[in-house]
A and B are shown apart, each in its own frame.
Chain A
Amino acid sequence: MIQKLLDIDRRIIFVLVLVAVATPLLMGTVLPITPTKEVQAAYDEIEKRAAGDVVLVSFSYGASTVPEMQPMARAILRHAFRRDLKIVAICLWPEATGLAQEVLEDMAAEFELQYGVDYAFMGYKPGNFSVILNMGQDFHSAFPQDHWGTKADELELTRPLRSLKDFDLVFDLAAGDSIEFWWIPYGQEKFGFPFAAGCTAVMAPDLYPFLDSGQLNGLLGGLAGAAEYETLIDHSGTASKGMSAQSFAHLIIVAFVIIGNAAYFISRRTRPEQRS
């Protein structure tokens, strides 16, 4: 019996996971979300900015992390535009351009923004850390034109921006090591701008040393971070709706870990001759 439990077909486990995720989504279950201090700190960074301040948002993620990162991007931009901040968007990953374009177009329609005045989309430049180094010295050298070919000098928003020091806040949305190995050593360390970030949940634990040292002023980790930010800006988006499914899926996996270990230890006790 225990052995049958241990040897269960993994497709049954797959179905249970799918049910745990789909059921709360179909039922529209909502659970209360409490923001953590790291997300609150990121929120406070945007709250501190005055109307008209310029924020650089760097999209450093790809299509594989859309479910985690797009809700985060929408929440950050929604908050920034509500506070009349100006946004300059860049991409440090090639896949991010289509994703950034989608979010910016949706926000532009919602807030009736004027391109080139309220926001600008500079597109993607290859080179990883060298883009940040380039921007640090001369923003127009790194991004001589926007994604659509208009010269940076011709856009009202980007015309006066000369280097990273001209930004009031830099926000990186990352699925790779751009926060830790590009922005902090090649940007924040030299130019000292306020820096906050959002990242996939996989990377979040790695960034706590930078929160402690003050090199990072706030952090959104994964879908939970995005949901907490949506709670802070009082907007129920995709992330908040997904947290109930997230909760039940985690419960199922914790149950798997406990049941699997319990079955393992019981089977070891009932078969002493197989003990090493």
Chain B
Amino acid sequence: MARDTYVFLGFLLLFAVVNIGLVVSGLLSADWTGLGVITGAGMTLALYSFLYKDNPLFKFAEHVFVGVASAYIFGQYWYPTIYGELIAEWTELEAGETANWWLLAPTALGLLMLTRFSLRFAWLSRYSFAFFVGLGAGLTIPRYISSFILAQIEPTLRPLSLSWDGFNLLVILVGVIGVLVYFFFSVEHTGVAGRVSKVGIWFLMVSFGASFGYTVMARISLLIGRVTFLLEDWLHLM
């Protein structure tokens, strides 16, 4: 057998032995909770096996995840909304209550959306998308003007002062202008525009560096979470 097959079988054997040991020693309970921890650990290690090499165990775990996740999310749409707000609206009325007949309109739009998969009736789905996208675009415009443009320009143009805060404000003003000029591609970045956009690039590099540092932090945090689960909840070493 190939070396990888030995590694794979050895890993499975080790996993089984460790779990049997944990259950026998009482560190893991022999019930659904204990089985849950073992399942979680197994899925975690199966996915981490990708770090050694792409392998069938990783692909198996990945596809199990895809199936479970998509069904779970369907449940989250079904219970609160499709059943809770639509079906129950007409089937679980109390005495004296009337249904909200206006809900038939978004229900119809939602069902029309599903015609996307029919070659003959796909054009009907355009009405749903037109409503959704058109209304979304309309709601966006005034809110973005107010909360992103006006609300962000005002603190940028605060009065400067001869202090550390004043210096920082000046740096922010220069940086915002530099970045905006950099992203203004309708004007060639030569001469004055070129120099200003160069300043913008410097600010962008600092910002991307900060984002990279935080991204490293985020990914390491996720790793810490999984390692903590394996060491504490599964192996009880912590």
Contact = CB atoms under 8 A, between A and B. Distances in A.
Q: Do chains A and B touch in the complex (CB under 8 A)?
A: yes
Interface in A244-276: 245-246, 249-250, 253
B187 interface: no
A213 interface: yes
B146 A209 contact: no
A interface secondary structure, majority: helix
Contacts of B221: 67-68, 201, 222-223, 242, 246
B148 A17 contact: no
B162 interface: no
A103 to B, nearest CB: 15
Interface in B211-238: 211, 214-218, 220-228, 231, 237-238
B81 interface: yes
A188 B143 CA distance: 10
A94 to B, nearest CB: 4
A213 B155 contact: yes
B143 A186 contact: yes
Given A205-B207, A213-B152, A242 B224 contact: yes
A215 interface: yes
Contact of B225 (A67, A186, A224): A67
A18 interface: yes
A145 B221 CA distance: 35
A134 to B, nearest CB: 11
A253 B216 contact: yes
Interface string B134-152: 0000011001101110011
B73 interface: yes
Contacts of B215: 201-202
B238 A17 contact: no
Interface in B185-222: 207, 210-211, 214-218, 220-222
Interface of A: 11, 14, 17-18, 21-22, 25-26, 28, 64-68, 94-95, 97-98, 123-126, 129, 133, 144-145, 147, 149, 184-186, 188-190, 200-202, 204-206, 209, 212-215, 221-224, 238, 241-242, 245-246, 249-250, 253
Interface residues on B, range: 35 or more
Contact of B80 (A125, A129, A189, A223): A125
Contact of B238 (A26, A67, A149, A249): A26
B54 interface: no
Contact of B154 (A11, A185, A213, A242): A213
Contacts of B214: 201-202, 204-205, 221-222
Contacts of A25: 224, 227-228, 231, 238
Contacts of A95: 69, 72-73, 76
7 contacts: A25-B231, A67-B222, A67-B228, A125-B80, A145-B84, A189-B147, A206-B211
A20 to B, nearest CB: 9
Contacts of A223: 217, 221, 224
Nearest to A214: B155
A130 to B, nearest CB: 8
B224 A185 contact: no
B5 to A, nearest CB: 19
A95 B77 CA distance: 11
A14 to B, nearest CB: 5
B227 A66 contact: no
B6 interface: no
Contact of A249 (B152, B211, B223): B223
B60 to A, nearest CB: 19
Contacts of B72: 94-95, 98
B116 to A, nearest CB: 18
